[in-house]
Structure 1
């Protein structure tokens, strides 16, 4: 499989998975990313989804580097 395709797919899966995890953690904490306006609840949800997406992306890249070293 093409190296760039694998890199793009793993980055996308990591980002989306992390963003969803951040979204659900925010929901559990009472933040609502879809609340009307830009109140504290909405901003908190957006921040958690963004942090989750970034963390998921970094985790995907870490795991890809680790798998490359072991191969």
Structure 2
């Protein structure tokens, strides 16, 4: 695989992992009744923001883990 293809795979999988994880974090916060876009910065809004951030980070970590396992095959 050429360098350009490797970089495209790396960037694409990072983006998909981050966005997918952030959407899962948003969905979980929505199910728990936390409003991400509430007026002001109440505790529920801060918790929802944290869940979206953690979800994005975990999704990115999972994408990188997938790439490392794929590379070793």
Give TM-score scaled by structure 1 length: 0.94
Q: Distance in 1 between matches of 2:52 and 2:60?
A: 12
Give the number of aligned pairs: 70
The two structures, once aligned, show a CA RMSD in angstroms of 0.9
In the other structure, the counterpart of 2:18 is 15
Q: Structure 2: any 5+ residue segments left out of the alignment? A: none
Could you list the structure 1 runs, at least 4 aligned residues long, displaced by more than 2 angstroms after superposition. Answer: none
- Structure 1 segment 22-37 matched on structure 2, within 5 A: 22-37=25-40
Q: Structure 1: any 5+ residue segments left out of the alignment? A: none
- Structure 1 segment 1-71 matched on structure 2, within 5 A: 2-70=5-73
Give TM-score scaled by structure 2 length: 0.92
